[in-house]
Amino acid sequence: MTLQDVRALAAKGEGLKIEFKKKASYPEKIVREFIALANTAGGDLLIGVDDDGTVSGQRFIEEEVFVMEKAIRELIFPPLEYEVFTLKLNEKKGVAIFKIPISPSRPHYLKENEKKQAFIRVADRSVQASREVWEILRRGRIPKDTVFTYGRKEEILMKALEETGKITLKEFSKAANLPRFMASKTLVKLVLANVLQIHPQESEDYFTLKNPAV
C-alpha cells in the first residue's frame, strides 16, 4: 500500500467500511470499531488521519500499532483476523492502516466484566448490536434454508407491515400480544428466511419486508 492509496482512501471520508482515528488514544474504545467492521462488511481503520480526512500522520506510529494490537488481542473475542501496514509521511510521522475482512467467526464482541457487547456499522458509526442482530449474525454465518409456518402472529406482522411499511420488536410484540422473546424469535427467523430485513439503529432496530411489492 502506498501513500497515494492512503490519501485516496481518506478522500472517501468515513463510511460503512472506513473509520479514521487521529491516534490510538483509548484503545479499549477503538476496538469497538474493529468489531463493528468485522461484524458488518469489513473495511479499513486508519490511524494518523483526522476526522475530516486529512492525512496528518502521528508520531511514533509503530507504538500506536503496538497499543492497538495489544487491545485487539486482549479485548476482542473470538480472535480477530486483520492485516496492518505502516507508512512514513516524513522522519517523524506516519500512518497505520488496519485492513479488517468481514469475519466468518462473527459476531465478535468486547468482553468487559463478564458482559459481552457486539457492535456493527450503521453508515459511518459503530453502534451496539441488539440481541436480534447478534442472533442473525451468529446463525447467518452458514446460510441454510429456514422453514417457518405462516400462522396468526405472522399474519398480524404482515398486516402491520402493509399498513406502516416497518415495525419494531416492541410494536410487533404489542400488536400480536406476544412475549418479547417470542416476538424476537419470530422476527429473527423471518430475517434468516429472507422474508424480512433488519435495519439496525442506535435506539431501536426496525424491520421491513425484504422484497416489498411495488
Site of grid cell 422473546: 181
SS3 84: strand
Task: Compute the C-alpha angle 12/3/16, nearest 5°.
Answer: 25
**How distant is the alpha carbon of residue 180 from its chain centre?**
24
Beta bridge partners of 138: none
Q: What is the pTM of this model?
A: 0.89
- Residue type at 110? L
At the top level of CATH, which class does the domain 131-209 belong to?
Answer: mainly alpha
- CATH number attached to the domain at 3-128: 3.30.950.30
C-alpha 47/C-alpha 14 separation (Å) is 13
Instruction: List the grid coordinates of 105.
Output: 467467526
SS3 167: strand
Task: Provide the pLDDT for residue 145.
Answer: 63
Task: Provide the pLDDT for residue 212.
Answer: 66
Task: Provide the pLDDT for residue 147.
Answer: 65
What are the extents of the domains in the chain? Answer: 3-128, 131-209
Residue 5 CB partners (closer than 8 Å, separation 6+): none
CB 59 within 8 A of CB 23: no
- Residue type at 199? H
CB 56 within 8 A of CB 48: yes
Instruction: Kindly give the parts of the chain with pLDDT less than 50.
Output: 214
